[in-house]
Amino acid sequence: MIVERPIPDLQGTGTPETIWAACQRLGRLPTWQPEPPPSARVVVVAPHPDDEILGAGGTIARLHRAGASVALVAVTDGEGSHPGMETHLRRVRPQETAAAVARLGIRPHSVHRLRHPDGKIDELTLAEQLAELVNPGDLVLAPWSRDGHPDHDAAGRAAETASGRSGTQLLAYLVWAWHWAEPADLPWSRALRVDIADLMPSKRAAATRFTSQITVPPVVLRQHVLRRLLRPYEVLVRP
């Protein structure tokens, strides 16, 4: 049974970065040094093109550099960000992700475009699709199931279901939670920190590839949003 939660407010300027910078628990998180899982395969689930880069791009790059093969799963093509531009965005947004991935030095072993409707992810179908894609010994990176955007939450729950069935390791990344949440809302006891300071020039450059989200009104990735996603570390949450 799918439990519906109130949708957090994703509008406005969100939680000031000064609040996160002052959060002592964030600074005390245990550090994880990414290394390939037993299968040497990482399955990255992105509800929209750009989520995987902004939420976990540095982590993915570290895993790839350490020898892991990367399978990218694009759940939607992100066509719903600008009404009236759906056909254009279905073509452009996957291209933007490919350019961003290349800028981070990641060469995916495979890319799976599932083409769920943007804004209307079928969670049960997605769980079945992911269960067919993941294998025991893989590492799955997916959005946190309480990230706050309905597509992110649905993709996160589907990944949890698929990983649970196969016994696959799952780590969740955060995107919109940094916008709506306060420090008290995050599951600190299950969180890990990945330091990516040395990768920040590449991650910043990768973020600029998402021009449809940065330059086309209404702008989705505004500067206050990017500021929270382009820190010298990423946070992952264990189940």
The CATH code of the domain that includes 143 is: 3.40.50.10320
Q: Is residue 2 one of the residues assigned to a domain?
A: no
| Opening angle at CA 40, ends 34 and 43, nearest 5 | 80
Nearest to 144 by CA among 208, 229, 235: 235
Kindly indicate the confidence band of residue 10, based on its pLDDT and cuts at 50, 70 and 90. confident
Give residue for tokens 């030095």: 105
Q: Quick check: is 4 in a domain? A: no
* Averaged pLDDT for residues 76-101: 96
Residue that wins the pLDDT comparison between 7 and 177 = 177
Which range of residues forms the domain containing residue 196?
18-237
36 neighbors 65 (Cβ within 8 angstroms)? no
Q: What is the pLDDT of residue 8?
A: 80
In a domain, residue 10? The reply is: no
In a domain, residue 69? The reply is yes
Mean pLDDT of 116-140: 97
Structure confidence at residue 7 as a pLDDT band (50, 70, 90): low
Closest CA to 62 of 224, 192, 226, 222: 192
User: Could you give the number of structural domains in the chain?
Assistant: 1
Within a domain: residue 123? yes
Residue 3 has pLDDT above 50, yes or no: no
In a domain, 1, yes or no: no
pLDDT at 187: 97
Q: Tell whether 25 is covered by a domain.
A: yes
- Average pLDDT value for the chain: 95
Residue 5 pLDDT more than 80?
A: no
The answer to the question of residue 163 being in a domain is: yes
- Gap between the Cα atoms of 40 and 223, Å rounded: 35
> Can you give the pTM of this predicted structure?
0.95
